[in-house]
Structure 1
Amino acid sequence: MSRTDVEKLLSELNEGRILTQQTFEGLDVEVYLDDRDASTFADEWMQSFERWAQATAVAEEEVLRACREQAFKQTLALTGEPELAGYVSDDLGLIGAALLHDMVNDIFVNKLLESYRQGRLPLG
């Protein structure tokens, strides 16, 4: 398990390097959420969730809870959109769970993380 990688992710969130105003600039939240739910993205997301998040005793991992909470609060503060904040929080929780399991070979989760690190919301 790579707790260090998850702690690095939390640090990046806390320092405002993952979620910024630019991440959400010009975003039509309804269209974005509809696109995520209707695309193959949603299927891939669920497969990764089943692979990683359910394999982790999420309730026992304080660092995962902290990542999810920070992502939710930052997204809500930047957008005022609680539904979007929930999606972003879920994404960061999934990324964190995969990091705990050294997910170096999970292409989908790596793409999620890369999107956020590049200041973009992920989409299929």
Structure 2
Amino acid sequence: MHNTLTEHARCLYEDADGDGYRPAPGCTSEHAEFYFVEALTFADPDALLTMLRELCPDAADGYLPARIRNLAYRLVLLQRPDEPALLREAARSLSVHAPDGNAIAAALEGRADALDAARRTA
């Protein structure tokens, strides 16, 4: 059984070149993606951010598939909608990893700017 979302992701998304993550020795967990997506869906924002930052430390690179990375950011933003730095982080990732994500990324940047402006005037 995986103890963390990050551990589960590492077991599931092994690097095809053989020099990335592999299932932990002796891991008896089921490595079907739908189990991981279920865990991802109900994860708390700290677990999601830990996974994203450990497995995708750079906006343009990482071990997670783009669809999983984008879903994780969406789930974090649903739970933490008013954090400008997080909105910008998600926008950077989306602009790189979503084929039609530029409009959404721009909207996220705009929301972050609006939140920053509101905080400056408060």
Pick the TM interval, shorter chain. under 0.3
Between structure 1 and structure 2, the one with the greater Rg is: 2
> Structure 1-normalised TM-score?
0.25
